[in-house]
Amino acid sequence: MQTALLASTHLNDVIVTATLSLSTAGPTFTGLRCKECGQPYEAGARHVCEDVCFGPLEVVYDYEAIKSRVSRATIEAGPASIWRYREFLPIAGDPIDVGTGFTPLLKANNLAKRLGLKSLYIKNDGVNMPTLSFKDRVVSVALTRARELGFKTVSCASTGNLANSTAAIAAHAGLDCCVFIPSDLELGKVLGTLIYNPTLMAVKGNYDQVNRLCSEVANTYGWGFVNINLRPYYSEGSKTLGYEVIEQLGWELPDHIVAPLASGSLFTKIRKGFDEFIKCGLVDEKAVRFSGAQAEGCNPIATAFREGRDFITPVKPNTIAKSIAIGNPADGPYAIDIANRTGGNITDVTDAEIIDGIKLLAETEGVFTETAGGTTIAVLKKLVEQGKINPEERTVAYITGNGLKTTEAVVDHIGQPYTIEAQLDSFNAAWQQAQAAQAG
Ligand SMILES: *Cc1c(COP(=O)(O)O)cnc(C)c1O
Ligand SMILES: [Zn+2]
């Protein structure tokens, strides 16, 4: 009896040890699944539910395995990058590590005061690595997975920042790279891609036309397109914008977030990041309101939200906020659902308001953002003025890109330098002029 008991305990020990060592080694993701009908798929390079309903595919995780491996302490002991959350990301082996993530969460007291808010934070992905936008997160994950899946050439359909990230991180990883952009992009975005020496295709058309072309290229050339056939992995990278804010708020959720919407992916994945940390016991559950920002010149999601629709009517973009100018946004319906269910809002602002938003953030907080960030700040201001953000709410505004890439947008709306001789009297005269200008 006693021997039998010992033997079975011993057996249990062996089993427990075996399970533990398994759970500290293998990947935490188990495959893909259709977001609409639940059909499972293997974790390959695919993004739509080809067998059943053509819905989008999502990565599936073993949350019990994640819970058994991860705690606040293990995360805090990790690197100061998105890879401190690697158990929540769909990679099997070593990451391509270019230092992406863990960008500053700035307490924005001056801007808060100006807007009449009590507690405002700026999540500043304008200083992300390596290419100064939030896209470095999604590309770090997508290219790591692309390499695991054996792709030699990687690509993307981009509104600008994605091309920068894909070209840079492909260069670092030694992958061949061919990227596609609309031909009318800002110089900073074009130059910020070409410097890494990829093949760059500037397509005469808007983003939605570029994207359609890329779907055809993906089918014919067998390349890894980060936001097409690798989209389920790519989009998971945005969850880290949720995790980081929780951690940087001292392991608490905010009350309200405001983020820009292009395809709507980023917005939905911040929500998924919050939900996963709740599910894994890393943060206390709390209702967070989700509000989204679009430009009036490309506002298909804001329009549908305003009209109480859950389907998107595509538009033809015409705005200075080129990085978020997607006329037919794939995740629009999901973004609307989240805004509705959390008591948030989705609204739009004019190009003039976007420029004012860029200047307001720069002048109050010393943060120079691109047009997408200007959109977010202008929408934040509008929602406060409309009483749709409560002054008491702890609010986080997501700044997703850097202003030095879209200088065209503001160059005619800022001051001029005083050009002077290298002599004191020349300075004296200019300084008097400057003071007079400031007084008037
Ligand atoms: C791509 C992008 C976004 C949003 O992208 P989604 O398609 O909605 O995930 C926001 N801001 C900037 C600067 C971007 O480049
Ligand atoms: Zn399906």
Going from N- to C-terminal start, the domains of the chain cover 3-98+135-234, 105-131+238-409
Instruction: Please name which ligand lies nearest the alpha carbon of 234.
Output: 1
| Ligand 1 center from residue 326 Cα (angstroms) | 9
Please write down the HEC assignment for all residues of the chain: CHHHHHHHHHHHHHHHHHHHHHHHHCCCEEEEEECCCCCEECCCCCCECCCCCCCEEEEEECHHHHHHHCCHHHHHCCCCCHHHHHHHCCCCCCCCCCCCCCCCEEECHHHHHHHCCCEEEEEEHHHCCCCCECHHHHHHHHHHHHHHCCCCEEEEECCCHHHHHHHHHHHHHCCEEEEEEECCCCHHHHHHHHCCCCEEEEECCCHHHHHHHHHHHHHHHCCEECCCCCHHHHHHCCHHHHHHHHHHCCCCCCCEEEEECCCCHHHHHHHHHHHHHHHCCCCCCCCCEEEEEEECCECHHHHHHHCCCCCCCCCCCCCCCHHHCCCCCCCHHHHHHHHHHHCCCEEEECHHHHHHHHHHHHHHHCCCECHHHHHHHHHHHHHHHCCCCCCCCEEEEEECEEHHHCHHHCHHHCCCCCCCCCCHHHHHHHHHHHHHHHHC
Cβ of 330 closer than 6 Å to ligand 1, yes or no, is no
Residue 422 dihedral angles phi and psi, to the nearest 5°: -80, 55
| Ligand 2 center from residue 231 Cα (angstroms) | 16
Residue at token pair 């639940």 = 38
C-alpha 146/C-alpha 131 separation (Å) is 19
C-alpha 240/C-alpha 244 separation (Å) is 6
Mutation test residue for ligand 1: of 103, 124, 127, 133, the one with most atoms within 8 Å of CB:
133
Looking at ligand 1, which atom is closest to the CA of residue 160? 15
Cβ of 133 closer than 6 Å to ligand 1, yes or no, is yes
C-alpha 124/C-alpha 59 separation (Å) is 27
Sites in the chain below the pLDDT cut of 70:
1-25
Report CA Rg, the chain. Answer: 24
Mutation test residue for ligand 1: of 164, 400, 402, the one with most atoms within 8 Å of CB:
400
Cβ of 260 closer than 6 Å to ligand 1, yes or no, is yes
Question: Looking at residue 24, what is its pLDDT?
Answer: 54
| Architecture, CATH, for domain 105-131+238-409 | 3-Layer(aba) Sandwich (3.40)
Question: Looking at residue 440, what is its pLDDT?
Answer: 81
| Ligand 1 center from residue 290 Cα (angstroms) | 16
CA distance from start to end of the chain: 97
Question: Is domain 3-98+135-234 given the CATH code 3.40.50.1100 in the classification?
Answer: yes
For residue 345, give the amino acid letter: N
Nearest CA to ligand 1 atom 14: 323
Cβ of 192 closer than 6 Å to ligand 1, yes or no, is no
C-alpha 373/C-alpha 207 separation (Å) is 19
User: Environment class of residue 388 by beta-carbon count within 10 Å: exposed (0-12), middle (13-18) or buried (19+)?
Assistant: middle
Nearest CA to ligand 1 atom 4: 262
C-alpha 288/C-alpha 340 separation (Å) is 12
Say whether 105-131+238-409 and 3-98+135-234 share the same fold: yes
Q: Looking at the DSSP assignment, which residues form a beta bridge with residue 223?
A: none
Cβ of 258 closer than 6 Å to ligand 1, yes or no, is no
Cβ of 261 closer than 6 Å to ligand 1, yes or no, is yes
Give the burial string for 119-141 (b: 16+ CB within 10 Å, else e): bbbbbbbbebbbbbbbbbbbbbb
